[in-house]
């Protein structure tokens, strides 16, 4: 991955975008594709659709990553300035005590919702010395935790508003042998992949049909952006680009969850949520480009935007390609950067290989 593309990935992961608050990440996607896409529109939910017009009357393809991340929200501010909060999406309460967080304040004098002021916060809990032995054995529930922003009650209530967004207070780093760690790789990697595929297809002279790189919203709270984008755009093919569960670290049962290794290529999903012809064509694209890949078994609905893609209107050709990710929904999600480039190679070849006669009817 070159420095420019890595910088784009870093900017995406560090842009605050809990579900319902995706504007900063959406703006980055629009800026990145302004020179490559023929048309960029943002729908009323906030999902971004960048379209590269086709050269003919071939099948239209939407490749989508969701731009929202899990996060938190301000629910109450007490008279001493401490914040009570709740989760947006699947936040694990067990990892929260002691974390530094970013609180995006939109109250008086902060610039409002369009220019939130970043406040450092710390999630507090009683120290172990003051916790009864029985309490130490249980996870402290979110409603028993609080955030300390280092302000008086009066200052906190002036700068903050109820509903202000909160993210883990960490950013992007590379480490080890080609690895990277960040919050929100789920699913900023999908947005990055979708954008890069559009750029590569543009360089190759375009595809026969339209190609849409989509950044969908509110996936973490119910696949909402994927549902509305699939219905509104009505593409022939919808492929979700995602972060998938790696199983290459201690404590994960491969007999239960399969074998998914960081660095061995993206996971190409196979199962009832996936069109079988599309699955085979993705494998063929990987083989044609000599790109490493892994097969991801999905025996039911995938829980990704591929679900609403498949069921939209009268049914669509649906697919899913995922980058193996360790420690999902934590502040320290880990992946191998090469896997992202490999996903782009596979999807680019897949799109370019489509023609006007391609038939995805299972038979």
Contact 217, 225 (CB under 8 A): yes
Bridge partner residues of 297 (DSSP) = 270
- Can you tell me the distance from the alpha carbon of 18 to that of 149, in angstroms, rounded to the nearest whole number? 19
Bridge partner residues of 215 (DSSP) = 48, 65
Which two tokens mark 320?
């899913």
Res 183: pLDDT? 98
User: Residue 109: pLDDT above 80?
Assistant: no
- Can you tell me the distance from the alpha carbon of 87 to that of 20, in angstroms, rounded to the nearest whole number? 12
Exposed e or buried b for every residue in 66-81, given b needs 16+ CB within 10 A? bbbbbbbbbeebeeeb
User: Residue 145: pLDDT above 90?
Assistant: yes
| 87-106 tens-digit pLDDT | 999 999 999 999 999 999 99
Mean pLDDT across the stretch 36-54?
Answer: 98
Mean pLDDT across the stretch 321-348?
Answer: 98
User: Residue 46: pLDDT above 80?
Assistant: yes
The model scores a pTM over 0.75: yes
Which two tokens mark 215?
């950044």
Strands (E), the chain: 39-42, 48-52, 61-66, 71-77, 83-88, 100-105, 117-124, 146-148, 165-168, 173-175, 179-182, 211-216, 237-245, 267-270, 294-297, 317-325, 333-336
Mean pLDDT across the stretch 317-344?
Answer: 98
Q: How confident is the model at residue 180 (pLDDT cuts 50, 70, 90)?
A: very high
- Can you tell me the distance from the alpha carbon of 113 to that of 135, in angstroms, rounded to the nearest whole number? 39
- Can you tell me the distance from the alpha carbon of 112 to that of 360, in angstroms, rounded to the nearest whole number? 48
User: Residue 113: pLDDT above 70?
Assistant: no
Of all residues in the chain, what percent are helix, strand and coil, respectively (each to 5)?
A: 30, 25, 40
């Amino acid at each position: 991955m070159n420095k420019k593309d890595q910088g784009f990935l870093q900017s995406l992961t560090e842009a605050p975008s809990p579900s319902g608050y995706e504007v900063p990440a959406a703006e980055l996607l629009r800026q990145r594709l302004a020179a490559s896409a023929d048309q960029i529109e943002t729908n009323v939910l906030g999902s971004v659709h960048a379209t590269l017009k086709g050269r003919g009357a071939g099948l239209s393809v939407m490749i989508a990553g969701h731009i929202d991340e899990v996060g938190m929200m301000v629910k109450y501010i007490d008279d001493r300035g401490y914040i009570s909060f709740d989760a947006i999406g699947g936040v694990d309460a067990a990892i929260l005590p002691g974390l530094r967080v970013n609180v995006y304040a939109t109250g008086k004098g902060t610039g409002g919702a369009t220019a939130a002021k970043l406040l450092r916060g710390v999630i507090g809990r009683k120290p172990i010395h003051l916790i009864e032995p029985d309490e130490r054995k249980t996870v402290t529930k979110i409603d028993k935790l609080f955030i300390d922003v280092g302000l008086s009650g009066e200052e906190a209530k002036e700068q903050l508003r109820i509903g202000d967004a909160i993210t883990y207070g960490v950013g992007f780093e590379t480490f080890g042998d080609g690895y990277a760690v960040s919050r929100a790789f789920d699913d900023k990697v999908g947005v990055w992949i979708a954008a890069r595929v559009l750029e590569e297809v543009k360089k190759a002279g375009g595809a026969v049909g339209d190609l849409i790189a989509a950044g969908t919203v509110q996936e973490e709270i119910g696949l909402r952006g994927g549902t509305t984008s699939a219905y509104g755009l009505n593409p022939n093919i919808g492929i979700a680009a995602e972060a998938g569960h790696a199983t290459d670290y201690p404590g994960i049962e491969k007999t239960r969850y399969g074998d998914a290794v960081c660095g061995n290529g993206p996971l190409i999903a196979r199962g009832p949520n996936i069109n079988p012809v599309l699955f085979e064509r993705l494998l063929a694209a990987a083989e044609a480009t000599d790109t490493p890949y892994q097969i991801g078994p999905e025996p039911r609905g995938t829980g990704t935007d591929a679900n609403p893609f498949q069921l939209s209107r009268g049914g669509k050709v649906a697919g899913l390609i995922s980058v193996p990710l360790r420690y999902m929904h934590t502040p320290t999600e880990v992946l191998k950067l090469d896997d992202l480039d490999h996903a782009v190679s596979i999807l680019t070849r897949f799109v370019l290989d489509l023609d006007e006669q391609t038939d995805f009817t299972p038979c």
